[in-house]
Structure 1
Amino acid sequence: MAKTSILTGTAAALCLTAAGPVWGQALEEGTGEEDAIVITASKRGEDIRDIAGAVSALTDEDLTELNAQSLSDYINRVPGVVFNDYQPGVSEVVVRGVASTTYHEANQATTGYYLNEIPLIEPGFPLVIPDVDAFDLERVEVLRGPQGTLFGSSSLGGAVNYVVKEAQTSGFDAAAQGIAASTRRAGEANYAAKAMVNVPIVEDKLAVRVVALERYDAGYLDNPGIDEDGSNDLRVRGLRGSIVWTPTPDTRVTALSMYQEYDLDDQTYVIFNDDPETFERVTNVAEFQDTSFMLHSLRLDQELGFARLTAIGSYTEKESDLAFDDSIFVGIDPRTDTPQLSGSAGTSKTDYAELRLTSPAETAFSWLIGANYTNARSESTDRVSIEGIGEYIDANPDEFGGRPSSDIAPGDLVQRTVSNNDIREIALFGEAAYTFADVLTLTLGGRLFEYKSEPRLQFLPNAELIPPFDYAPGRQKESGFIPKVSLAYNPRDDLKLYALYSEGFRIGGVNVYSVAAGTPLTFDSDTTQNYEIGARFDLVPNQLSFDIAAYHIDWNDIQARLFVPVTFEAYTTNGGGADIDGVEMTMTLRPAPFMQLSSSLAYTDARLSSLLPDTGAPGGGYPEGTRLPGSSEWTLANQLSFEFDDLPMQPRFGIAHRFLSEAPVAFGADLQRGDYHLLDLNASAQIAQGLELGVFAKNLLDAYGIVNAPFSFAGTITRPRTIGGSLTWNFR
């Protein structure tokens, strides 16, 4: 009862103040039928304004105007969303403050990721979190709030669905883009080259579309330890292709394949020491990180009259290889006078199949029913090495119980941990909605799921003389039911009120470093329950629109990422819970046909509701009321754009602003992230038919801010001011 009264009172207050100055950003909203955006993240084609929930969609026009390349360029503009910009290929989107770190969750992420509805995150630890390049994207859909009913595990806070453009059978199309830019402090230029071609093989029946890209982001950090300025160079390469076959008006078959890789020469974190605004990191070797993912999928959409049948099958493969210099923590090994290095190399392979039926649109009773199957196999080897340790062991056998280096340190590896898992999920899901008197819609949904996993953790013979360990508990099983209920009131086209209850969950797992670090061997699943009310309305038809949501989230049995003192080995443990209360507001103002102001404002209060145990923390843990890591109370984004389509060269100009208030980077950390403003400028003009010249400035004021950190002495910072230009050609 208390939760309901709090939410109702908050929403009422927001509605009363809507006529005054309100900052928000309706990235997803249009006010006329011609502006309607149909999204698919709800597993059916729906006008975004008809969804009883908090949803945003950034279109290809939005991404182009922002000169977006990756998630860091646009995802923070969605209300209630922050980006833990850790390392390319593993950085995490956080929705509504549901996170236990600003770094990288040690198990599943709290946000689900999808590409054309295909899961990109496997159950268990994700080796790679794909950051799909923005070129030739149709849109990016963001569902805020738990999405366990339709999407399953990993959507504790929300879900992100990339929608890439597929082959068009209607005609030939092509596009190309070149980008050149300079980042302050970077010794080299940034560049990108991207191209797309769409070819109809049989008009209106068969077509193919191919996209290729390469992007180079010059490093801006200095690493005197390896005598390298601008050490964190990043190269992104990608290839994407689709084939669409429509043998009849009622049948559509789509094949989609994609490959993208991230090659980072040196990690992006800095060591703060006594300099609060440093661009320096000191290591004895370059800490590289290489990640890649490959996806192949086949989809059938068949109209059956009474329903649409959708069948999806996909195969996803990910690879990751990285290295860290442990000597910055533990010093140079005195036995060999060489640094201790750690690293990890892993592969995951996921098969996914989904079958569903969706009722026709425009009926009082609508429904969706489906089933999916997932099989994820992963293997990862974590290693610690000291160059020359094998020779030292063989020269000093008494120190190692007489065991030769070939047994306990092959290839100078002093520790080796191999983890494997085979996880299978089968689930039934569905939703049914009925509209009363054309204005009141009740929706009930649910997901019945079962997970079966077969983990194995092996700690091999080692030079640390820790007893070897082989943990294979056999098949583990977890099952449950995830409900969803919503009630929407839609008395007219420009007004919608809704109330929503939804849930999310994550499965449990095994800690990789548990044997050597003495941490808990396993951890259990955690869940979220979301209570939400919202409103969408036009205050001035076709000129001023608002989208407001207020919510309360209970997060139970939190899977928290913690670190072992001194060695800083990460592990996951369950403990305590959290209460998250928040309000999200978006606004779009169109005072003239050529001008639009879009704004977003979000307030989030995310705190522990009970003690989170941590033996390395004062008092044995973090008490009730402790703020969750990275959960900034305030986020703000504004975007002012001018488009003069009637003038020669059709000039366009945009100003984009973001603000993130401060928040602790980790449990128990003194270091705060946020408390900075970022300002971007964009301008473009058509210099010839189909040829657009653009200029941009990102982080124009050269703001220095911390975007993530696992500890109080090291973290990742905002990219310095970057100025550049682009040349884009479109055939059409």
Structure 2
Amino acid sequence: MIATSLTPAAAQDAQDPPATEETNDVVVTALRRDTTVQTTPLAITALTGETLTNAGVTNITDYAKFVPSLRIQDNGPGQRRVSLRGVQASGEATVGTYYNDVPVTGSVGVSSDAAGRTADFTLFDVNRIEVLRGPQGTLYGASSMGGAIRVLFNKPSQEYEGEVEGQVQTTKGGGFGYFVNGMVNVPLVTDVLAARAVLYRRDSDGYVDNSFLGRKNVNDYTATGGRLMLRFTPTTNFSIDATAMFENTDAVSASWNPEVGDYKSAAQVILPYTDKSQFYSVNAEWDLGGVTLTSITGYQHRRSAYAADDSYYIGTYRTEARCASYVGTDACSADQLGSYYDYIDSLSPAAIYYPGSTTDFTQEVRLSSTGDSALDWTVGAFYQSRKNQVTSEDARADVTTGGIIMPEQIFYRRQISDRLKQVAVFGEGTFHVTPELGLTAGIRYYDYDKTVSGYTDIGWTLIGAPVRPLNTVDSSEDGTLLKFNASWQANRNMLFYATASQGFRPGGANQVIGLAADLTPYESDKLWNYEIGTKFGLLDRRLTLNLAAFQIDWDNMQVSGRTTNGAFSFLSNAGAARIRGLEAEAFIRPGGALQFTLSGNYLDAKLTEDQVNDSVVAAGRAGDRIPYIPHFSGSVGAEYHAPVSDAVDFFARADLNYVGSSYSEFRPTNVYRVKIDDYALANLRVGFELSESDTGIYLFVNNLFDSVAINRASMSSTPNSYSAVSAAPRTLGLNLRRHF
């Protein structure tokens, strides 16, 4: 567990003993009722807003290092794949991400891979983040296969309040960066209505140099966003919380080519990423006396565009054999070969450009018991309607600047529409056999339908993609999920629990137009998670120690295959995996102003069956490690906070994060398998805080030892395909904040 202290109000809600700085226990609502981390019988990490601020956290990649088994496969802004406990694969997300209890979805793209583009908003004015490891389908509307992440913002209050924060920084070998955050809270009607508004802007010049184009710091990044929240409390037992949030991002891919050099790219095209995201939610809660009725309505609208360099792939067609195939002869004449080469050369440089939009409407209604009784229960229903529109087009780029020529000069285009509708009813109940012993059972029924439509209006015969008319395919499925849990609170400082729970994610239909009928649909994949855990409060609760061991059996895995010409990827079901792991978290307060946090995990994630079926022969074979999942990872943090005078406090925090090595492909014999080396990242922050004015000024250095920390790397048969995304080089900066 990672947390600091609780507000007095939160401490009053906590179970006995009350949460204090000494017990370091945080009130959470993961079970749809107030419990503390140490009395919640599941693997959960709670990060308080104060912890996030002290550690300089601004997004999911920053806080992932504090959470055991949470892995972010980062391919740049808007293209992050989130996994928990090694459950990582293409397709729908394996981790449910919630903002104020509303699930957000990634854009599906052209390869039905919503998991690869998980939505991510900048974090500021956050109350806490709860990360629940293991399937959560019997308590959460959108379900989740590997776990759930809940980002809970501070709600409007009946006090005038504000906060401003600014930061400037510089990156080794890169440019200048800054951010500005602001928050104001205003009561509008005494005890009835309050508003809370947040605005922010982030800007970074980048640190990746493009050696092919002779341009420096190409991966610049800008994000502007805000949030408006209203809290309406007409009576003491009824409340409505409304949120409107937006974030606009303009960035360039941070991918670079290790064979060229550290933080060096040889891409022939500058690869833009733009994202305009809007998020709206209305949460209503009504205490009916013994039962709470909750309604959660959410709507997300996202317009995004990203790109990939297609120049080198097009260059692979500049051969005599390709000419003969294109012309339809045994060999090209000199004139035919010259004309063919001229045609290929006219296409480059080029980018595959993917503009698209996503809308997602969700509605959840649930009833939960309140108060102390022998039976705690929650029942609910969930509905989702998601629509995706995406275009895949090859467009020419400027040979000098590498920018995509606007308006686009398109020589190939296909249009895809992807719709998902799902409904679910779920419930979970805990029977307290004794005050110390609890038995839990849960069930979920789901029913989904997915419809994919598409056509190719600008064909490209070179890659076997002719003009094709509109085609529509459907895929649907229903089923049930189960959960069982037993917990024993041996005493106030010792909890034991055991869980068996199922998880799933929807299947669907591939978006590859003209794909053979037997390759078009794919099914959901499911898993069982078996887990035992314990939570201790030791040494007069100055040491908090939480341990968990688990095994996951994953069947009918959704796997990614490719068409025979290598031009298109698609999803199918093949193979099975077994993931075994250990997780540990500790919080140590030896006394005085010093505290330590430690977390770590061991994962053994391997296939138990070959990824082969009648439709696809995918890469994996029994015994292969799941890509991008290291065996070991962990972090240690130390924080010191002590007064140096009556008005000034000294603050220091150091964090060290270690990530073990992993591989980009299943097969050890795969010539394109890349080993991603282990790395350690150290961050240091020191400063002074003025208690009377609630002001802080801090100096910080991230990546203190300037490690080349590659998070993701891959390679294919295409020249210059060996690419990587990494943490930024050493970054120095100054941070100021004031709360008033």
* Shared fold per TM-score greater than 0.5: yes
Distance 1:154 1:662, change over 3 A: farther
Within 5 A, what are the aligned runs for 1:368-407? 368-386=378-396
Q: Which runs of 5+ in 1 are unaligned?
A: 1-24, 389-409
User: What is the Cα-based RMSD across aligned positions, in Å?
Assistant: 2.6
Aligned equivalent of 2:286: 302
Structure 2 distance, partners of 1:164, 1:724, is: 26
Within 5 A, what are the aligned runs for 1:643-654? 643-645=641-643, 647-648=645-646, 649-654=648-653
Distance 1:235 1:518, change over 3 A: farther
Contact 2:2 2:51 in 1 (8 A): no
Total equivalences in the alignment = 675
Aligned equivalent of 1:240: 227
Contact 2:546 2:586 in 1 (8 A): yes
Whether 1:346 and 2:323 are equivalent positions in the alignment is no
Structure 2 distance, partners of 1:460, 1:646, is: 70
Deviates more, 1:448-457 or 1:193-202: 448-457
Within 5 A, what are the aligned runs for 1:588-627? 588-613=587-612, 621-627=619-625
Structure 1 distance, partners of 2:296, 2:639, is: 39
Whether 1:678 and 2:681 are equivalent positions in the alignment is yes
Contact 1:517 1:564 in 2 (8 A): no
Contact 1:86 1:716 in 2 (8 A): yes
Cα offset, 1:358, TM superposition: 0.8
Cα offset, 1:695, TM superposition: 1.2
Aligned equivalent of 1:456: 453
Cα offset, 1:470, TM superposition: 4.7
Aligned equivalent of 2:216: 229
Aligned equivalent of 1:20: none
Contact 1:28 1:56 in 2 (8 A): no
Deviates more, 1:590-599 or 1:684-693: 684-693
SS for the counterpart of 2:50 is helix
SS for the counterpart of 2:53 is helix
Structure 2 distance, partners of 1:622, 1:129, is: 25
Cα offset, 1:210, TM superposition: 0.3
Cα offset, 1:46, TM superposition: 2.6
Cα offset, 1:162, TM superposition: 0.8
Structure 2 distance, partners of 1:702, 1:88, is: 22
Whether 1:172 and 2:160 are equivalent positions in the alignment is yes
Distance 1:386 1:728, change over 3 A: closer
Aligned equivalent of 2:436: 439
Cα offset, 1:666, TM superposition: 2.8
Structure 2 distance, partners of 1:38, 1:515, is: 53
Structure 2 distance, partners of 1:458, 1:645, is: 67
Deviates more, 1:666-675 or 1:119-128: 119-128
SS for the counterpart of 2:392 is strand
1:142-193 CA deviation, whole Å, 9 max, x = no partner?
A: 1111222233566221111111112112x1000000000111111x311001
Picking from 96, 100, 105, the partner of 1:116 is 100
Aligned equivalent of 2:323: none
Aligned equivalent of 1:33: 19
Cα offset, 1:425, TM superposition: 1.3
Whether 1:269 and 2:246 are equivalent positions in the alignment is no
Aligned equivalent of 1:163: 152
Aligned equivalent of 2:298: 314
Structure 2 distance, partners of 1:658, 1:610, is: 33
Picking from 120, 127, 131, the partner of 1:138 is 127
Structure 1 distance, partners of 2:119, 2:4, is: 23
Aligned equivalent of 1:391: none
Cα offset, 1:567, TM superposition: 4.7
Structure 2 distance, partners of 1:647, 1:580, is: 52
Distance 1:324 1:204, change over 3 A: same
Aligned equivalent of 1:397: none
1:508-540 CA deviation, whole Å, 9 max, x = no partner?
A: 123334648999333221112100000001231
Structure 1 distance, partners of 2:172, 2:563, is: 37
Structure 1 distance, partners of 2:564, 2:678, is: 28
Structure 1 distance, partners of 2:36, 2:219, is: 42
Aligned equivalent of 1:77: 66
Contact 1:156 1:505 in 2 (8 A): yes
Structure 2 distance, partners of 1:154, 1:562, is: 26
1:324-383 CA deviation, whole Å, 9 max, x = no partner?
A: 220133328741533232111111111111111110132221111111111111111111
Cα offset, 1:284, TM superposition: 2.4
Distance 1:468 1:565, change over 3 A: closer
Structure 2 distance, partners of 1:721, 1:675, is: 17
Within 5 A, what are the aligned runs for 1:43-58? 43-58=32-47
1:542-590 CA deviation, whole Å, 9 max, x = no partner?
A: 2112100000001111112345688564332221010000000111111
Distance 1:593 1:361, change over 3 A: farther
Cα offset, 1:490, TM superposition: 0.4
Contact 1:128 1:318 in 2 (8 A): no
SS for the counterpart of 1:62 is helix
Aligned equivalent of 1:253: 240
1:257-304 CA deviation, whole Å, 9 max, x = no partner?
A: 10012211x21111122x5x5211122221101123211111211110
The one-letter code of the counterpart of 2:632 is W
Structure 1 distance, partners of 2:137, 2:365, is: 17
The one-letter code of the counterpart of 1:46 is T
Q: Which runs of 5+ in 2 are unaligned?
A: 7-16, 319-340, 399-406, 717-721
Distance 1:28 1:61, change over 3 A: closer
Aligned equivalent of 2:694: 690
SS for the counterpart of 1:270 is coil
1:425-470 CA deviation, whole Å, 9 max, x = no partner?
A: 1111111111122110001111111112222132334131644445
Distance 1:55 1:287, change over 3 A: same
1:176-225 CA deviation, whole Å, 9 max, x = no partner?
A: 00000111111x31100110000001222210000000001221000133
Contact 1:549 1:584 in 2 (8 A): yes
Structure 1 distance, partners of 2:543, 2:618, is: 52
Within 5 A, what are the aligned runs for 1:455-474? 455-464=452-461, 466-470=465-469, 472-473=471-472
Cα offset, 1:670, TM superposition: 2.8
Cα offset, 1:420, TM superposition: 1.0
Deviates more, 1:644-653 or 1:122-131: 122-131
Structure 2 distance, partners of 1:325, 1:615, is: 33
Structure 2 distance, partners of 1:432, 1:365, is: 7
Cα offset, 1:306, TM superposition: 2.4
Structure 2 distance, partners of 1:518, 1:286, is: 37
Cα offset, 1:67, TM superposition: 0.8
What TM-score do you get using the length of structure 1 for normalisation? 0.87
Aligned equivalent of 1:3: none
Structure 2 distance, partners of 1:572, 1:593, is: 55
Contact 1:43 1:117 in 2 (8 A): no
Whether 1:720 and 2:725 are equivalent positions in the alignment is no
RCO (CA 8 Å, sep 6+): is it higher in 1 or 2?
Answer: 1
Aligned equivalent of 2:524: 525
SS for the counterpart of 1:33 is coil
Contact 2:100 2:152 in 1 (8 A): yes
Distance 1:517 1:144, change over 3 A: same
Structure 2 distance, partners of 1:451, 1:432, is: 25
Whether 1:512 and 2:519 are equivalent positions in the alignment is no
Aligned equivalent of 2:707: 703
Aligned equivalent of 1:365: 375
SS for the counterpart of 1:622 is coil
The one-letter code of the counterpart of 2:350 is Q
Cα offset, 1:473, TM superposition: 4.7
Distance 1:153 1:569, change over 3 A: farther
Contact 2:575 2:609 in 1 (8 A): yes
Distance 1:729 1:526, change over 3 A: same
Aligned equivalent of 2:327: none
1:89-116 CA deviation, whole Å, 9 max, x = no partner?
A: 221221111113xxxx3x2121111101
